[in-house]
Structure 1
């Protein structure tokens, strides 16, 4: 029999290698790994799903909100930390705003965006933190004040003119007129409220720390990097415990015991901080009351 040309033999060898590797890496290996995962860690392999009444209610690995149709917190439930992606696994991500993001863009009354929607402006990361802290404080019956925040829940930031030299004009840029500025005067100059649409870029930015002491924990006012964090800190859970106990008619010690039961330790015993799984805790509370 006449031998095949070398180029044909090379192509046939490549084809055989392709078929063998496709079978091994595309079928045998995935089936083997899937089988081992199902046998050894069935729950984790299937997404750590949590069920109630035979129905999936969520995952132990993905946070979710506990609010009503208008977005208001359901007071008998522990609340999760904020999420930049709305707890949507398909929109996982952070706000990508950093600590230098302290200046709001005030909405201009009557103005509309390119799609015809009312102008809503843009909140800086600082103002988002301040607003969340104020809301959490009101919900839990504690002070929502924190450094660099005004009493009305926006970033305490001044624009000073000129940028260099003796101030002649000072504006509380995140407090839209006719709001009363959080400081009456700065270096002897009366502080003005911010006017929507006015350009303050030429001024020197001066965040004002104030003397407030934060009671609301950091994870209550900042979103996680993924936007899907299912845990809150023990401190945030303890802050919410009196409200949940009161709304459910339970003893505070009972609620705190449940917090301890759903608290996970540090990874490998030394990395990170202990956390409380919010969904598991709320499901346990519902079972406790039937």
Structure 2
């Protein structure tokens, strides 16, 4: 008895589903697990976990925080770059903040990317004993941004100016001859017609605090920092550890990797391996 065409088509589709389920849902994953168990690859497949005295202390491939009992940066250790993964360095929630350079205005429930960068730079400057100022940041570590109101909307004389990220004393007294007001909580000055205007200020064009020290990576779990950020931390580490700066710089160089294939990416310093080398020192 010949089956109806619609039934034969459904049976063919079911057979294809079963075949590909076995191949791609069972056989292929098992093959990849087997490849991951090959000598030389097994450590990477397990996440390049690092064990010290029988205790897992981290992974060479996943960034982590190095803090004291109160959650503050431990001054004896090199610090990683910031993380936007979950509540920070959460390998189950790897992600970026998805905030861009135009994210400059704070809201009641979230600090803008600019303010986050400004606050981090100021905090790192205090930790490392350097100038933490950056362009477009106020002295108190928020985004230096004004809402400028013009008589004719986007043009014409300035009639009102508000420092949108400050409820206290504005970072500048006047703008274009108009007194700058402090912001009011919950007020959306852009919706009211203000033109959002970042103010560069007099910070150096090349800040003392490197960019990777104040911005999270795309994964939020970058295990490396730039040689520049590592160099910034050398004096503090040497002081806290009772070592010479030359000895600490040598450890940094030993844990610095170059560009992939000699031209891809940038040199990096693995923070976990560097801190382990410090402990061994």
C-alpha separation between the residues in 1 aligned to 2:240 and 2:65?
Answer: 18
Kindly tell me: are residues 33 and 212 of structure 1, through their superposed partners in 2, closer, same or farther at Cα, counting changes over 3 Å?
Answer: same
Instruction: Map 1:235-274; keep pairs closer than 5 Å.
Output: 235-274=228-267
| Aligned-partner SS, 1:168 | strand
SS at match of 2:38: helix
Relative distance call for 1:60 and 1:165 in structure 2 (3 A) is same
**Unpaired stretches in structure 1, ≥5 consecutive residues:** 108-120
CA distance in 2, matches of 1:134, 1:71: 18
Question: Between Structure 1 and Structure 2, how many residues are aligned?
Answer: 267
2-structure distance, mates of 1:150, 1:268? 41
Deviation string, structure 1 residues 99-156 (Cα, Å, up to 9, x no partner): 1010112x4xxxxxxxxxxxxx321110000000000000000000010001010001
Per the alignment, do residues 12 and 260 of structure 1 end up closer, same or farther by CA in structure 2, a change over 3 Å counting? same
1:195 and 2:188 matched: no
Paired residue for 1:67? 67
| Structure 1 residues 28 and 142: CA distance shift in structure 2, 3 A | same
Aligned to 2:160: 169
**Number of the residue aligned with 1:128:** 116
SS class of match (2:166):
strand
Gap runs ≥5 in structure 2: none
Change over 3 Å in CA distance of 1:253–1:150 after alignment to 2: same
Closer, same or farther: CA 6–135 of 1 in aligned 2, 3 Å: same
**What is the root-mean-square deviation of aligned Cα atoms in Å?**
2.3
Counterpart CA distance in 2 for 1:31 and 1:23 is: 11
Measured in 1, the distance between the counterparts of 2:242 and 2:16 equals: 68
User: d(CA) in 1 for partners of 2:15 and 2:184?
Assistant: 73
- Alpha carbons of 1:37 and 1:172: their partners in 2 closer, same or farther (altered >3 Å)? same
TM-score (norm 1): 0.84
Q: Please report how far the alpha carbon of residue 205 of structure 1 lies from its aligned counterpart in structure 2 after TM superposition.
A: 1.1
CA shift at 1:34, angstroms? 3.0
Distance 1:26 1:94, change over 3 A: closer
Counterpart of 2:115 in 1: which secondary structure? helix
Normalising to structure 2: TM-score of the pair? 0.87
- 1:211 aligns with 202
Of 177, 182, 187 in structure 1, the residue corresponding to residue 171 of structure 2 is 182
How far 1:239 moved relative to its partner? 0.3
Residues 91-100 or 27-36, more deviating: 27-36
Q: 1:128 to 1:6 in 2, by over 3 A?
A: same
Q: Offset of 1:76 from its aligned partner?
A: 0.3
- State the Cα distance separating 1:16 from its structure 2 match: 8.2
- Pick closer, same or farther for the CA change 1:173–1:37 going to 2, 3 Å: same
Q: What is the DSSP-based 3-state SS (H/G/I as helix, E as strand, rest coil) of the residue aligned with 1:191?
A: strand
The verdict on how the C-alpha distance between 1:35 and 1:208 changes in structure 2, with shifts beyond 3 A counting, is same
Q: Provide the rounded CA distance (Å) in 2 between the counterparts of 1:160 and 1:19.
A: 64
